[in-house]
Amino acid sequence: MIAAVKGFRDVLPEESRRWQALEDAARELFLAYGFGEIRLPILERTELFARSVGETSDIVEKEMYGFIDRDGTSLTLRPEATASVARAYIEGNLGRADAQARLFYIGPMFRRERPQKGRYRQFYQIGAELLGRADPLADAELLLLLARYLERVGARETRLELNSLGDETCRPVYRERLRKFGERHLDVLCPDCHRRLERNPLRLLDCKVEACRQVMADAPVMRDSLCADCAAHLGQLRALLDQERVPYVMNFRIVRGLDYYRRTAFEVVAEGLGAQNAVGAGGRYDGLVAALGGPDVPGVGFALGLDRLGVATSAGALASGPAAVILPLEERAVGPAFALATRLRQQGLSVGLEPAGRSLKALLRSADRRGARLAVILGEEELQVGRATVRDLVRGQDRRQVLTLDASGPELASAVQALVGADG
């Protein structure tokens, strides 16, 4: 057998049904907030991620799937989509009318992480990006959208954690303070952290090694280094969230793995997911579009992980089996059974169809196993009178010759619905 590639998996109907519900809810709600769907390519030039996500990020350093194309171009399967959205904004001149663009995307991302429960090498995200707005109202709108969405899909026990990472004025000051702090604890910090200290001290806060975490628990926090503008931005954002009663907690340790974040940074964590409990994350990336060669346009966005959200929500819980299964008792009944199933399916009813050639008992057992509510029986007698017998599998009751075979689709569907709804 040829197995799937490590970290890559099939999303089977039961799970993908939940995903569809999550996607449908996103499409509906995001549109209400003025976001339009963008369908982005999965493949980009490697330099797009090197320049946006950052050379020192884990993603670019060790997690990207790339290859050299036949013409020598280095290409990469996207590890995230914000960089692509920024590229599309520049390339499609999406800010021409007014600088603002509201976009959302749904699709797979690729990162060569160590696979475990809730962490895959191909995973799926739903994300929203609001470009062209620097004011805290934009951040508030986006976080409200996120909170309302989680509420709508029934995400159990999620918590929004918020931080500000400062800007080009105050972040360097903080970075220096962190570097000095790290240098005083070199003996305890892991080899990775030694490297981080050189290249990007903020990422010291991200380390998962227990000894490092203990040291970093006493590290200085960004809050105390925020400049007046950044503090005001955070203050206004918090006031707007409070006004709309969006629950959140401040977490001054959030740094985010990606280099381009400015000011607002946040994560959504869910209870009961185990180690991989982050269902979503995002923040403000005011320098990104300019860094990619576009106009100096700010932006803010989030991405939710479908693989984890599907576990953390009640959306699209598996519906029961088909409303009815059609059972032809003999070969001659196959044609009429097929026609009946087709007409009912065209009316949007979930209907099963069994092949002929087995006893009534065996057919009923199949229908029962599939969780059907009704069995529609087509035997010699039914064909003669032109009406099928319907057995209510839940109540164990027969209604002889109730379904007229040459009725129209809508008539048939309402007859079946009446039988299904017989006892509510």
Residue 237's H or E segment, with its range, is helix 228-243
Tell me which H or E stretch contains 163: strand 158-164
Per-position x/- string for 200-229, each x denoting binding to ligand AMP as judged by CB under 6 A, each - no binding? ------------------------------
Shortest Cβ contact with ligand AMP: which residue? 305
Residue 52 vs 125, nearer CB to ligand AMP: 125
Interface with ligand AMP (CB under 6 A), residue from 57, 76, 125, 158: 125
Give least dist CB 120 to ligand AMP, A.
4
Is 129 a binding residue for ligand AMP by CB under 6 A? The answer is: no
CB of 68 to ligand AMP, least distance (A): 24
Phi-psi region of 56 (alpha: psi -120 to 50; beta: other; left: phi over 0): alpha
Cα 309 from Cα 421, distance rounded (Å): 33
Q: Angle formed by the axes of helices 171-184 and 191-199, to 10°?
A: 150
Q: Of the candidates 77, 230, 281, 340, which one interacts with ligand AMP according to CB under 6 A?
A: 281
Residue 35 or 351: the one with the smaller Cβ distance to ligand AMP is 35
- The residue type at 327: L
Q: How many residues bind ligand AMP (CB under 6 A)?
A: 15
Q: Based on CB atoms, which residue is closest to ligand AMP, 286 or 382?
A: 286
Q: Which of 78, 87, 284, 308 binds ligand AMP (CB under 6 A)?
A: 308
In this structure, is the dihedral angle defined by the CA atoms of residues 116, 4, 66 and 43, taken in order, positive or negative?
negative
93 Ramachandran zone, left/alpha/beta (phi>0; psi -120 to 50): left
Query: Which of 132, 280, 287, 301 is close enough to bind ligand AMP by CB under 6 A?
Result: 280
Closest CB 329 distance from ligand AMP, rounded Å: 49
Total Cβ atoms within 10 A of residue 147: 20
State the virtual CA torsion across 394, 398, 401, 405 in degrees, nearest 10: 20
- Phi/psi region, residue 313 (left: phi>0; alpha: psi -120 to 50; beta: rest), is beta
Binding residue for ligand AMP, selected from 130, 178, 279, 403, defined by CB under 6 A: 279
Chain contacts with ligand AMP (rule: CB under 6 A): 80, 111, 113, 119-120, 123, 125, 278-281, 303, 305, 307-308
